[in-house]
Amino acid sequence: MGYAISVSDIRQAAARLEGTAVRTPLIESPLLNERVGGRVFVKAENLQHAGAFKFRGAYNRLSQFSEAEKKAGVLAFSSGNHAQGIALAAKILGIKATIVMPEDAPTLKVEGTRNYGAEVVFYNRYTEVREDVAAHVAGDSGVILVPPYNDSQIMAGQGTIGLEIAHDLKALGLSADQVLLNCGGGGLASGAFTALYDAFPQMQGYVVEPDDFDDVKRSLEIGEIQDVDFGARSICDALLTPSAGSLTFPILKGLGIKGLTVSDDEARTGVEYALNTLKQVGEPGGVVSLAAILAGKIDSKDKVSVCIISGGNIDPMMMKECLA
C-alpha cells in the first residue's frame, strides 16, 4: 500500500515554504542534558509564524490553490493553532478564511485567528461534531475545506520540521537515537517521521499524547484506529482530536512508531521548565514531548534525543497556573 506522502513531497513543501516560514532553531540545554544523562535537542516551533508549527502545513496547502479556489475561500475547523495557521496563510495569499472553533478554545487563539482576518464560527465540542458543523457552514458555497491533519499537503508541510531536525543534527555530526513528537491527529508526526526515518533509519520514534487522549497510542498497540472516549478532558487543547487520521495512521503504524502519554500535571511541569530553564514559551499541548522526557517516560541516558515545543499560544492565566 502506498502512503499519503513521500520524502519527495516534503522536500517540495520545503521549497514552497523557503523564505516564508521561519527556519526554527534546534535548542540544546546543558541543564536538561545533565538532568537526563544524555543529549536532548528541542525543536522550537513555538517561534514559528502564528506561534505554532501549523503554519507550515497551512501555507503549503493554500499556496497550491487554483485561482478559482482562491476566490471560493477556505474553511477550516480547529481549536486554535491550525485556525491561526490557516488564517495567516490565507491573509498572505489573499484568500478569505472562515474557521469553525470550539466555544472553549483559548481566548488568545480566538483573538489571534480574528486578528489575521478570519471569520470565526463557534461550536460545542462536547455536543456537536465539528466536521458536521463545518459542512453546514460550507453549504453549497464551494468553499474549500482544509482539515487540520488528514490531508497529504498539510502532512507534507509539517514534515519539513523533520528535514530541518535531520539537517541540523547531521551538521553537528550526530544522528538521532529517539525522537518524541506531540500528537493529536498525527499530521505533524506522520510528516516529520517520514523525513526523520529517511535520515536516521535506526532511530525510534514516539508520539506523545495527554493521558485521556491516548487514542494514537492505543491504535498503534492494537493495529487499527481507535477513538477517544467522548467527554475526555485535558488542558492540552492543541491535542484534543477524536482519533488519528486515515492518512496519518498508516504511516505511523508502518514506521513502527510507539506511543507515550503524560498527565496534565506533567504538561504543566513542561510549560514551567520550558519557560524557566529553556527560556521558551510553550502551551500545555505544545510541550508534552518535553514533559515525557522530563518525567522519565523513556530512557534518555547516553542517547541523542529530540523533542519539540510545537506551539507557544498560551493564555496568561494558564501560564500563571503552570508556574504556580
**pLDDT 10s digits, 138-151:** 888 899 999 999 99
The predicted pLDDT at position 153 comes to 98
pLDDT in tens, the chain (324 residues): 589 999 999 999 999 999 999 999 999 999 999 999 999 999 999 999 999 999 999 999 999 999 999 999 999 988 789 999 999 999 999 999 999 998 988 888 999 999 999 999 999 988 888 889 988 988 888 999 999 999 999 999 999 999 999 999 999 999 999 999 999 999 999 999 999 999 999 999 999 999 999 999 999 999 999 999 888 999 999 999 999 999 999 999 999 999 999 999 999 999 999 999 999 999 999 999 999 999 999 999 999 999 999 999 999 999 999 999
Whole-prediction pTM value? Answer: 0.95
pLDDT of residue 1: 55
* Cβ atoms within 10 Å, residue 229: 11
First CA to last CA across the chain, in angstroms?
49
- Helix count (H) and strand count (E) of the chain? 14, 10
Q: Residue 30 — φ and ψ, nearest 5°?
A: -55, -35
pLDDT score for 301: 98
Burial of 8 (0-12, 13-18, 19+ CB in 10 A): exposed
pLDDT at 106 (0 to 100): 87
C-alpha cell recorded at residue 193: 517521521
| Secondary structure (3-state) at 203 | coil
**Cα 263 off chain centre by:** 18
Ordered domains of the chain (ranges, CATH) = 7-53+151-323 (3.40.50.1100), 55-145 (3.40.50.1100)
Which residue is listed with cell 474557521?
99
Query: Sign of dihedral through CA atoms 73, 76, 79, 82?
Result: negative
